[in-house]
Amino acid sequence: MSTAIPADEADSHGTAIAAERRWAWIVVAIMALLVAMMIFTGLHWSAMPPSRVETVDVKTLHLKGEFVESNLGTSVGADGKVTVRLIAQQYSFQPQCIVVPAGVPVTFRGTATDTIHGFVVGRTNANTMLIPAFVSTFTTTFPKPGEQLMPCHEYCGTGHEAMWAHVQVLPREEFLSRAARAERLTCVPR
Ligand code: CUA
């Protein structure tokens, strides 16, 4: 009995090894590409910090400035721009019910008092983090009137899942007539 490998078997063995090697090189190339991308994006972003960083003093947040209680809610500026100011804290938003107009760009300005929170409004693209000492801003347009839920979406402690607010999207005319009567709008029951 011969121990030599038959010619065709040796041939297919060689083909298999070549294919294996080819795959190994492809995988190495993919890994090298991913590592290169990680290094590039890491260096790129550290060389280019976000263009707009706005800070606020957490210790005096409730006492003076933009985020005092009386200034929270929705306002219409002299230029007609709609701004919602809100703060997040364990485990609620203030205001708990936010009024916005439909079909008009709305700018949210928010911050947090204690830890990182966040919010998303229904299925819209209104979605941001609220970070102590930083002001987050976000502009979006709500296409149609209706009631939306606004849960906190950053784990912020044991009460996280109970942290909600509501957003009432009003028809534009109704919103503007209400805004003409009050400086700050909310839908929090009084
Ligand atoms: Cu606030 Cu989770």
DSSP secondary structure, 31-53, as one string? HHHHHHHHHHHHHHHHHS--S--
114 Cβ inside 6 Å of ligand 1: no
- Residue 90 CA to residue 33 CA, distance in Å, equals 42
* Closest atom of ligand 1 to CA, residue 90: 1
User: Quick one: which of 150, 149, 99 has its CA closest to 128?
Assistant: 150
112 Cβ inside 6 Å of ligand 1: no
The mean-pLDDT minimum among 73-87, 93-107, 137-151, 176-190 falls in 176-190
Measured from the Cβ of residue 45, the count of other Cβ atoms closer than 10 Å reads 10
* Closest atom of ligand 1 to CA, residue 116: 1
85 Cβ inside 6 Å of ligand 1: no
Distance 11 CA to ligand 1 centre (A): 64
DSSP assignment of 65-118, as one string?
STTSGGG-EEEE-TTS-EEEEEEEETTEEESSEEEEEBTSEEEEEEEESSS-EE
Kindly give, in sequence order, each residue whose CB lies less than 8 Å from that of residue 103, ignoring residues fewer than 6 positions away: 141, 142, 143, 144, 172
Residue whose pair of structure tokens reads 């219409």 in the numeric block: 76
User: What was the pLDDT predicted at 11?
Assistant: 84
User: What was the pLDDT predicted at 48?
Assistant: 72
Specify the residue with its C-alpha closest to ligand 1, atom 1: 117
User: Quick one: which of 146, 135, 140, 158 has its CA closest to 53?
Assistant: 135
23 Cβ inside 6 Å of ligand 1: no
Average pLDDT, the chain: 91
Q: Taking the model in full, what pTM does it have?
A: 0.74
User: What was the pLDDT predicted at 8?
Assistant: 76
User: Quick one: which of 41, 48, 120 has its CA closest to 88?
Assistant: 120
Query: Could you tell me the two tokens for 48?
Result: 């280019």
User: What was the pLDDT predicted at 4?
Assistant: 64
Percent of the chain with pLDDT over 90: 69
Distance 177 CA to ligand 1 centre (A): 33
Q: How confident is the model at residue 62 (pLDDT cuts 50, 70, 90)?
A: confident
User: What was the pLDDT predicted at 140?
Assistant: 94
Residue bearing the bigger pLDDT, 51 or 67: 67
Distance 89 CA to ligand 1 centre (A): 8
Q: What is the CA radius of gyration of the chain?
A: 28
- Residue 156 CA to residue 119 CA, distance in Å, equals 12
Q: How confident is the model at residue 52 (pLDDT cuts 50, 70, 90)?
A: confident
Distance 37 CA to ligand 1 centre (A): 32
Q: Which amino acid is at 139?
A: T
86 Cβ inside 6 Å of ligand 1: no
131 Cβ inside 6 Å of ligand 1: no
152 Cβ inside 6 Å of ligand 1: yes
Arithmetic mean of pLDDT, 39-65: 84
- Decide if pLDDT at 130 tops 90: yes
Q: What is the pLDDT of residues 139-175, one digit of tens each?
A: 999 999 999 999 999 999 999 999 999 999 999 999 9
Q: What is the pLDDT of residues 1-43, one digit of tens each?
A: 556 667 777 788 989 999 999 999 999 999 999 999 999 988 8
User: What was the pLDDT predicted at 108?
Assistant: 95
* Closest atom of ligand 1 to CA, residue 159: 2
